[in-house]
Structure 1
Amino acid sequence: MTIVVREVTAPSEAELAQYTKILAEAFGYQFFGTALGGDKSLQEPTLLAQIKAALANGEGEVHVAELPDVGVVGVAVWFGPGQKFLASEAQHKAGWDQVMERLPAEYREWWDTFLVDYDALVEKSLGSGVKVASYHLQLLGTAPDHQRKGVAKALTRYGDAKAHAARVSSVLETVGPTNVSIYKALKYEVAGSGPIKVPPPAAEGSFEMSVIIKHTEVEEFQA
């Protein structure tokens, strides 16, 4: 089975909808579900906003994995060196702000706090400026019918090769021991972790977020 990975720079609306659905299904329509107030109608807009943020002014990259006679079965969203998710007005206006406007105030406030705390955790785990200097994996998902067939491996290998060519590391963040195990199997390692306050309506509590790295910057790295 040959998996072909390619970068897309100007997808049609139909293709964007397809990529969004693949990601939503990969996450079981539960991507940051509690932080979106449990509103499943916000799942696809939230994921689409991240895809479109990457496409805004070419500030990020969207990679897709295809199978012969099937089509696209996996999607990865990256931000390369010097770029960062939501670092520009164009990215905010590509869909993220519109999603936030649909949330009650307490959830918008949680997101504002989360993004600050999340950045602080990443900087502490990787070192100052390492994330922005790296290839950062924002989203990765495989259609449920094609999981455990090497699609995620092919997508990360493609991104890692680009990171190696630029002599920078590959980094990402994830939550939960299962996801950490998946990335460890893909030869990434945990650089650090820390607690993040849970979303409303809980008044107390936290969840553990892990910061992950692969040293694709080293000369001897092989994708």
Structure 2
Amino acid sequence: MASHPKPKLDFTIRKLPGFNDVPETTIDALTKVNCAVFHNDRFNRLVLGGHWDLAPAWHRSFVIDCLMGGVVYVVELDNQIIGDALWHGPGQALSQVEGAAEAGWDRYMAALKKKEPGMEEWWSSYFLPKHSEFMNECLQDPAYKLNGWFLQVIGVLPEYQRNGIGSALINVIFNEIARNPDAPPAERNICLEVEAEGARNFYKKLGFVEKGEIAVKGLGDLGCCPISCFAKEF
């Protein structure tokens, strides 16, 4: 029996305005999407200390930070958000904008420390130094990530995956870079981190190059998770 082609989804992608012009309902929708996308993800398990009830605070912190000091694109289908991409563009970084950390990250860390006190030490003495050293080794320039585009989070609800949505979200930035051919070379780079094997193949098909991999060990018996650094230069 002949198979029928998969119907094409009539989704749209739009760039959100800044934090002050985005309703709380949209922030909640983005948070719920990313919680669903990354539920049971190995890396998320490590950074949450195994406490999945903290996932909303974790994902909300990135949504808020990128709305305040980055770039946020949402995917919509039938007026519902089904995916998103959270970026920091050239010159942008986490917690760089005044008030961003207090509105998101600090609240998450306070909840995490209350739930699992050992996680504060894990973050400050183990993960952050290890992660920073790894990225510098991979990119060969401490300013590479700051000067170019960094993909903080990308997610598409599982039931809508394999419909070209993830590629379309990445292509938005490809097109942004293409429209600015005279930008400094450092601003025409993209880098990101990958944990899942399927995601590695996805980015390779889009022309990204794997720069290196490390194994991150979680607190206690949470196990390990590999993290790879990928980059694409135009």
Where on the TM-score scale, by shorter chain, does this alignment land: which range? 0.7 to 0.9
Q: Deviations over 1:45-97 (max 9, x none)?
A: 100100101122xx211111123x35321111000111112345522112111
> Match of 1:101?
110
Q: 1:208 to 1:34 in 2, by over 3 A?
A: closer
1:199 pairs with 218, 223, 230, which one?
218
* Bigger Cα Rg: 2
Question: In structure 2, the residue corresponding to 1:173 is in which secondary structure?
Answer: strand
Contact map agreement 2:38 2:44 (CA 8 A) in 1: no
Matches within 5 A, 1:152-163: 152-163=166-177
How far the C-alpha of 1:176 sits from its partner, in A, is: 3.4
How far the C-alpha of 1:214 sits from its partner, in A, is: 1.4
Following the alignment from structure 2 to structure 1, what is the Cα–Cα distance between the partners of residues 196 and 150?
19
> Match of 2:130?
117
> Match of 1:176?
196
> Match of 2:16?
8
Contact map agreement 1:60 1:77 (CA 8 A) in 2: yes
Q: Which sections of structure 1, spanning at least 5 residues, go unmatched? A: 219-223
Question: In structure 2, the residue corresponding to 1:34 is in which secondary structure?
Answer: helix
Kindly provide the amino acid, as one letter, of the partner of residue 107 in structure 1: M
Kindly provide the amino acid, as one letter, of the partner of residue 181 in structure 1: N
Q: 1:120 to 1:163 in 2, by over 3 A?
A: farther
Question: In structure 2, the residue corresponding to 1:102 is in which secondary structure?
Answer: helix
How far the C-alpha of 1:206 sits from its partner, in A, is: 4.6
Q: Does 1:48 align with 2:60?
A: yes
Kindly provide the amino acid, as one letter, of the partner of residue 108 in structure 2: V
Kindly provide the amino acid, as one letter, of the partner of residue 62 in structure 1: V
> Match of 1:148?
162
Q: Deviations over 1:148-204 (max 9, x none)?
A: 1111111111122224435511110111322211211232221222233x121149x
Q: So what's the TM-score if we normalise by structure 1?
A: 0.86
2:70 pairs with 33, 43, 60, which one?
60
Kindly provide the amino acid, as one letter, of the partner of residue 55 in structure 2: Q
Q: Which moved more, 1:23-32 or 1:127-136?
A: 23-32
Structure 1 vs Structure 2 CA RMSD: 2.0
> Match of 1:221?
none
Following the alignment from structure 1 to structure 2, what is the Cα–Cα distance between the partners of residues 62 and 96?
17
> Match of 2:228?
210
Q: So what's the TM-score if we normalise by structure 2?
A: 0.82
